[in-house]
Structure 1
Amino acid sequence: MRLRWLMWVLWPAFLMGGAATATVFSVVDPGDLTFFGHQVEASREAVYTIGFLVAWLFCALSSGLTLYTMPTKLEETDELE
């Protein structure tokens, strides 16, 4: 069951992380990024990779939180009574 839970969280997060990365980097040039006033000294591929991983992490946290807050079968039967 735990592997199925991971699939429910990580696969949609992977898809949305890819969509979010494509959306952000279609507008933002990785060569123009600055953090706290300093130019980012990394290759474009590194910036794309880090951006994707951060987007995937946030989407996975969102999906995981949604799955965590879903009512269980025990809670559903308690509400019906």
Structure 2
Amino acid sequence: MQRIIQVLWPSFIAAGVMDIVLFTLLDPMALIYRDTLLFTTRLGAYSLGFFLFWLFGAVSSALTCYFQCSTAQLNKICKSSEPKK
């Protein structure tokens, strides 16, 4: 559980900061693709941006945790997940 919190909490904070920075500089209602608005509401754009930033941050943090493990730790995890005979 602690590992999950270590991954999700920093990515949550980073997503909040990135969302603030991005939408301070960019108005989501000004995003137009082929003469069509991409978002119907600002709240929808803010929410989508936040969750995408959170996803990217969580994946990045999870990969960092994974690659930080030693081979002995990875072998121990793999052995414990094998079915017992």
**1-structure distance, mates of 2:39, 2:8:** 30
RMSD: 1.6
Secondary structure of residue in 2 paired with 1:42: coil
TM-score, length-normalised on structure 1?
0.79
- Find the counterpart in structure 1 of residue 28 from structure 2: 30
Percent of counterpart pairs with the same letter?
A: 32
Unmatched 5+ stretches in structure 2: 74-85
- Find the counterpart in structure 2 of residue 43 from structure 1: 41
The equivalent position to 2:16 in structure 1, one of 15, 18, 42, is 18
> 1:4-60 deviations in whole A, cap 9, x for unaligned?
11101000000000001011001000101134x232242101110010000000011
Unmatched 5+ stretches in structure 1: 76-81
Higher relative contact order (CA 8 A, sep 6+): 1
**1-structure distance, mates of 2:6, 2:71:** 18
- Find the counterpart in structure 2 of residue 67 from structure 1: 65
- Find the counterpart in structure 2 of residue 57 from structure 1: 55
TM-score, length-normalised on structure 2?
0.76
**2-structure distance, mates of 1:41, 1:17:** 19
Tell me if structure 1 keeps the 8 A contact 2:39–2:45: no
